[in-house]
Amino acid sequence: MLIDTHAHLDDARFDGDRDAMIARAREAGVEHFVTIGCDLSTSRAAVELADRYPFVYATVGVHPHEAKQIGDSWYDDLRRLAQHKKVVAYGEIGLDYHYNHSPPKLQRERFREQITLARELRLPIVVHTREAQDDTIAILKEENAADVGGVFHCFSGDARLAKNALDLGFLLSFSGVITFQNATMLRDIVKTVPMDRILVETDSPYLTPAPHRGKRNEPAHVRLVAEKIAAIQGMTADQIAELTSQNARRVFKIP
């Protein structure tokens, strides 16, 4: 049984077949889903989905793209949402200097604020970092994020980022990116990560793994991620499913 630790089940691209999409994932062996909040409205939607499906859990938080949208009452609202019994983490939060949809200085300020809130809530954090690894690690250290730990989602950094994240006690979550032909460095990093620190995810509807690239991604495809890690590690897909599910239950406190 697998756990897709990072999906956007509320995404409008699933509006036409959400129940069927979830049923396909369950048939493919996905036991639990963690659906991710990226702003106030998607955090609310994540909690609503966790209420609707017994096997879905939620996170709340504000993605760096949306940092400039944070309003006066957002943190109070997110704090209230986080009290829900099926909210298992705070995020995704972090830094993204590739698109800079929000100014980098503001991203850094909001990242710090949200780490503080996650520590107050005693929730692990889900970290998004793109082209910002030095600032990401520095802020995590300065804000004592190791107190709550968490996961670097859709890990696609280099070996130095992997070491820094692991040294802080974080887990690394791998997505369909490891199936991409040009992801040789990432597959080499997978070989070096302790097996009790690896998670699998889809980031659905994004980052569809081979051989389905170009199509909408969905949680059923998390099995392809597990199969690729198994091939890299010389293990079976079932072994990877069991190990990564144990890791997910531990970090997110999923029963």
CA dihedral 238, 200, 229, 210 (to 10 degrees): 110
Tens digit of each residue's pLDDT (9 = 90 or more) over 150-200: 999 999 999 999 999 999 999 999 999 999 999 999 999 999 999 999 999
pLDDT at 217: 98
Which domain range does residue 223 map to?
Answer: 2-252
3 state DSSP class of 28: coil
CA angle 72, 67, 153 (to 5 degrees): 130
User: Phi then psi for 129, rounded to 5 degrees?
Assistant: -140, 130
Q: How far apart are CA 198 and CA 133, in angstroms?
A: 19
**248-255: which pairs have CB atoms within 8 A and are 24 or more residues apart?**
248/3, 248/5, 248/32, 248/34, 248/199, 249/3, 251/89, 251/124, 251/149, 251/150, 251/151, 251/171, 251/199, 252/5, 252/34, 252/57, 252/88, 252/89, 252/124, 253/88, 254/3, 254/32, 254/57, 254/88
Question: Considering only CA atoms, which of 247, 195, 241, 165 is closest in space to residue 1?
Answer: 241
Q: How far apart are CA 197 and CA 195, in angstroms?
A: 5
Task: Tell me how far CA of residue 171 lies from CA of 69, 91, 253, in angstroms.
Answer: 29, 14, 14
User: Which token pair is 53?
Assistant: 């499906």
Q: How far apart are CA 174 and CA 197, in angstroms?
A: 11
pLDDT at 83: 97
pLDDT at 246: 98
Tens digit of each residue's pLDDT (9 = 90 or more) over 6-44: 999 999 999 999 999 999 999 999 999 999 999 999 999
Count the domains in the chain: 1
81, 47 contact by CB (below 8 A) = yes
Tens digit of each residue's pLDDT (9 = 90 or more) over 63-107: 999 999 999 999 999 999 999 999 999 999 999 999 999 999 999
pLDDT at 247: 98
Put simply, whether the predicted model's pTM sits higher than 0.85 gets the answer yes
Residue 26 maps to which CATH number?
Answer: 3.20.20.140
Give mean pLDDT, residues 225-230: 98
DSSP character at residue 108 = H
The secondary structure of the chain in percent helix, strand, coil, rounded to multiples of 5, reads 50, 15, 35
Q: How far apart are CA 225 and CA 229, in angstroms?
A: 6
Give mean pLDDT, residues 100-125: 98
